[in-house]
Structure 1
């Protein structure tokens, strides 16, 4: 990766606790390049207005910027139509929209919802609630010892009673890339729809929702160099048109009477109230930034870096890495002997290294791994091998500091 890319992230040029910052927590949220920061700043300085309603110049500029961002999202994930892109607060909101609108209307007692133990809570709890409210049964695709999914197990778990399959494209803990395209084919063959959590895949690889043939796909802007508080739900047009909105108010209506109302067409019927305009502008700028670098280039860089990190971390006695030996996404989850992950993260922070520690919003997966929590280093386009070397050196010092605890 071109070293000049790192220079475009202002936050990385600082010291933490007297040490140059090494940011290894991009799976939680990515840092923002100057281009995104400037785009949001420019919007507030020159275009700030509400969208769709006004006929004045600022209103037109804001509307063009907002809808232009929708077009960029649609192109970025290869949606067939811009109307299939619903702006949301992020992946969590997008998944909850599908659960609250589509699932509650289409699931009943005896139906099945199929997920995995590897899911982020945002792609697990909504389906638990749907199952409780509708009488549907929640089923789990078995995981292999290293966490990956065998298609033969998918075939056995999905049945003619399955209505929804919900799965992350990439695990936020194991760094596994699931065979979503093949799982979608199995789901459709059994009459089910598939919902894909794309929070960890969209920033790191080229995504084509038409090729995947997924029915819904959720993403978050803040994990792909964009602002927080903005994301999107992709849904096939026919499915979205069949669904009822779950938020009501201004902007999403067509006609309001005293006792009844009806809704605008897609995508606006799902975007009640003043939308996250500046966030959408920032997300559009983030997409421009990523496309200028190239998603294939980003994926290659992360694959090389993840392999290097796995190799270097494996050299530390007592350190256990969870997940497959070979991974294609820059997420490496580990524990350092018996040292609590929070202690590991605290000691690393003293050296200016930011990692994540905890259950990573994946408590069922932690139980499957037979741990309460783990440490996680996650890499992105602005990281390099020197960052990995700093991490390894600090972990060796941490091991020495805790002595017999490791």
Structure 2
């Protein structure tokens, strides 16, 4: 076991803002490859494109940046995401890859009129500059109740989910930013939030509603294929064949897989609450991160057989794990807040998980 000084050194303390390609000196952590160690900024991998380029948000007192690295961890660009008329520092809430590896971001920010907004913006993948977007005025704390997906076939088409907290209802609007039109609106009914929605290449929009329903919707005309009640859709992913994976609580912490028609393929009962899931691009494995915060406890990363729901491996690094992402080339990334180093040091690490 390394001593405390070795742990600090291996985490990059005193070595600048990032340490790249290091190894972590904590014996109970067997995730094999640490890509980055961040300092106290709220930073982690947000998206990965088909070439293996990483999009990482860097939120600090100096501003709000989106950073693009290539697959060899060379920085391509660093862009401050700052819409016209923005006041203070906008917060990056989500990054979603669209058509032709184009990144889209969801921002929460205040304008110079002192009102609060949520916005959805297309970012130039070569420079990081904002190209096109749309924003909505919201209440001071309601920006968390929005979500979005990007059409994978048609450029500049978004599916924007808005939850009206005062009425406990939600709707999704297919919005064409080129023509500035709303092509259709789909009512989700009673729901406080839309934790996840995914626009699939098969022409379906998959929506996890807070009520526990998974909706599969035709992106052309909002015709519903199915509405299936499964555990609360805190995590959602869809493989290339259209099989759905959803996680939540239903008399226990569960992960459920549905086939293309909405029938249940399998159910996995976990001992920990799931915060994020991601299926490998070949459809063979499902990765799940727990939402537990603490030193060790039952906080873990699980690897399942995506065909059967069988647990293959559980890894228990201490601390809270953030969104797990599987890239088109098969790599798996997870960001992690380390709690092995005493406060006030707060570390965030990004791991590349080797199968």
TM-score (ref. length: structure 1): 0.25
Identify, as 1 or 2, the structure richer in strand: 2
Identify, as 1 or 2, the structure richer in helix: 1
TM-score (ref. length: structure 2): 0.27
The higher relative CO (CA closer than 8 Å, separation ≥ 6) is in 1
